[in-house]
Structures are given as C-alpha cells and as structure tokens.
Amino acid sequence: MRSTRRFAAFAALGLTLAACSSEAGSQAADQAESTAEVQEDVSFEPGTTMAELNEAGSITIGTKYDQPGFGLLNPQSGDPEGFDVEIAKIVAAELGIAEGDISWTETVSANREPFIQNGQVDMVVATYTINDARKQVVDFAGPYYVAGQDIMVATGNPEGIQGPEDLAGKTVCSVEGSTPAQNIRDNFPEAQLVTYDVYSKCADDLANGNVQAVTTDNVILTGLVAGNPEGFELVGNPFTEEPYGIGLELGDTEFRDFINDVLEESFEDGRWADAWDRTAGRITGEEAPEPPAVDRY
Ligand code: GLU
C-alpha cells in the first residue's frame, strides 16, 4: 500500500511535469478536481455562521496565490490550487457550498489577521501557523498539518548553511508578518533579514544572488525548489514546529467546532490524504503523513 501510493505520487509528478511543458491546462483540471461531495440537505442552528453561509450559498476564503503545492493561482482558471485550497473546499462542501461558489481572496502573510477581523474573508486557509500571539485576535480550527521552518539556498549550498546559526552575517529573505521572519528577528539577530510581502519575491532574490538564503516553512520551500530545481536546494533541517490552522473570527466557537469536526472526519475517511496526494504530495513525492490531532483549545 505504502509503495503503491508513493509510486502513484511519482507517477503523478511525472504527469504534472509533462502537463507543465505541453499543456498547462490539463494539470489544472486534474489538481482542481475536488473529491469533496457537496452536502445538499444540511441544516444548521439559526443564527450560526454555518447557517448564514449555507443560506447565502457562498463563502469568501483567503489563501496564498504564490505557494506551489499549497495555494498557487492558476492564471487560466483564475482560481488557486493546492492542499490549502482542497482543505477549504472540503469545509465549504460540508456547508453545502460547491467549489464554484467559493470566492477566493489572496491573503498574504501580513494581512491574514486583519482580513479576518474586518470580515473581508469568512476564513483563512493559508499555511497559517497557530500561535498564541495570533490567538489574541483570531481563532483557529485545526491543526490539519504540521510544517517546520527550514532554509533554502542556491544549488551546491555555496555558503555551507546547515541551520539558522549559520545565517549570522548572511542575507536571508522571508516574508513580513510570518513566524519565520519573527523567529529570525527574535533569535538570530546577526542574520541580515530582508522581507517582502510574498515568498515568490524571495525566490527571485535568491535566483538573482541578491540574498544568500530564504527561510520559511519546509513545505513552502519545497514548492519553490520544484519551480527552480537547477537553482535552489533545501537545507532540509527543520528547526521549528508550524501547526497549520484555519483562521476564523475570534469568539466564533460554533464555527470553530464545526470546522474541527469536518477536519477530523476528513482525516478519518481519506478525503484529507486524497487532497494531499493530488497537491502537495506531488511536489514532495511523499505520501500523506499521519494527520495531527486537532487542538480544541
Ligand atoms: N506558517 C508560517 C506563518 O504562518 C509561515 C508561512 C506563511 O508566511 O504563510 O507565518
């Protein structure tokens, strides 16, 4: 079973690469094909967020647009694709909302909390680490995945960077409003941190030699390496835990409980692993890990 799934992931990667070079559209169609079955006959307690969204028949969801494997905009369809996107579709389907009725909004790292607080989005699924500082202003369902901060360098690792201590005196790029940037500021102040709003700009800087390293979650970096395998490599030595949660309005306990229930069901019935296999798993070449335990804090 394990080797079959691993083979399937590699086979799918081959197909994906073929699709990229010949016909980008077919990759899109395949990845975006959600297996989440939309609940036609659900009813929710009146006055809850679930009832409101179900009644409206639509939901606004924030995700990333430049992170291959998790949230990447497909310019042809105009919709994002990736593991976060598939997790969001599973939640929407359980609210009785089809993927065509999801309104996607790009949330970069720094605007996730404000977008939730202003009501610009109903929820955020965007490689979003659950932590105490963020819990002051938003609530989190999950986690549904646990990543770890890592470092990406130029191929051949010319600076010999093995971990964050080796960043002293080096230029390292990350994103404003992210936990990896904060970790560098707080714990590795001798590194020269350069920040942008999105990680694709860090990748451009590394490709151009403007910075010596990029730091963020390992799975995000893996997606960037897949986009430039000749230029980049992952150090592969994660040094934090980044539990990914679904962000929602602070205090909406019913909605949080509902999303936690949906996540747990998707862990059990295989929808979560299937979503992984069709998205991030193709890039990492690894089968879905054991899902984490949901934290109903
Ligand atoms: N997971 C980290 C965070 O939420 C880094 C990834 C990101 O910036 O989205 O800050």
Query: What is the pLDDT confidence band of residue 36, given thresholds at 50, 70 and 90?
Result: confident
Quick check: is 3 in a domain?
no
Calculate mean pLDDT across residues 229-254.
98
Q: What is the CATH number of the domain that holds 39?
A: 3.40.190.10
Residue 4 included in any domain? no
Atom of ligand 1 nearest to the CA of 216: 5
Lowest mean pLDDT among 32-36, 138-142, 197-201, 287-291: 32-36
Give, using CA atoms, the residue closest to atom 10 of ligand 1.
178
pLDDT confidence of 30, banded at 50, 70, 90?
low
Task: Name the residue with tokens 């002051």.
Answer: 136
The span from the CA of 92 to the CA of 258, in Å, is: 11
Domain end among 176, 210, 234: 234
How confident is the model over 128-170, as pLDDT tens digits?
999 999 999 999 999 999 999 999 999 999 999 999 999 999 9
Express as a percent the part of the chain with pLDDT over 90.
86
Q: Is the pLDDT of residue 8 over 70?
A: no
Q: Are 223 and 70 in contact (CB under 8 A)?
A: yes
CB atoms within 10 A of CB 291: 18
pLDDT of residue 40: 87
Q: Side chain identity at 47, as an amino acid letter?
A: G
* Rounded Cα gap, residues 65 and 72, in angstroms: 4
Share above pLDDT 70 across residues of the chain, in percent, rounded to a whole number: 88
Higher pLDDT: 98 or 15? It is: 98
pLDDT at 24 over 50: no
Same domain, 57 and 123: yes
Instruction: Assess whether 139 and 59 both reside in one domain.
Output: yes
Q: What is the pLDDT of residues 76-111, one digit of tens each?
A: 999 999 999 999 999 999 999 999 999 999 999 999
pLDDT class for 270, splitting at 50, 70, 90?
A: very high
Which atom of ligand 1 is nearest the CA belonging to 244?
1
Residue 9 lies in a domain: no
Ligand 1: which atom is nearest the Cα of residue 178?
Answer: 10
Mean pLDDT confidence for 69-76: 97
15's CB contacts (< 8 A; 6+ apart) are 27, 30
Q: CB within 6 Å of ligand 1 — which residues?
A: 109, 126-129, 175, 178-180, 216-217, 220, 242
Question: Which of 207, 234, 261 is the C-terminal boundary of a domain?
Answer: 234
Predicted pLDDT of residue 267: 98
Q: What residue numbers bound the domain in which 62 lies?
A: 15-145+243-284
pTM: 0.90
- Which position has the higher pLDDT, 4 or 118? 118
Instruction: Please check the confidence at residue 3 and state whether its pLDDT lies above 70.
Output: no
As a whole number, mean pLDDT of residues 213-218 equals 98
Q: Tell me how far the alpha carbon of residue 169 lies from the centroid of ligand 1, in angstroms.
A: 24
Q: Phi/psi class of residue 250: alpha, beta or left (left: φ > 0; alpha: ψ in -120 to 50)?
A: beta
Shared domain check, 174 and 80: no
Domain for residue 156, yes or no?
Answer: yes
Lowest mean pLDDT across 1-10, 175-184, 206-215, 225-234: 1-10
Structural domain count of the chain:
2
For residues 258 and 7, the model is more confident at: 258
255 in the same domain as 225: no
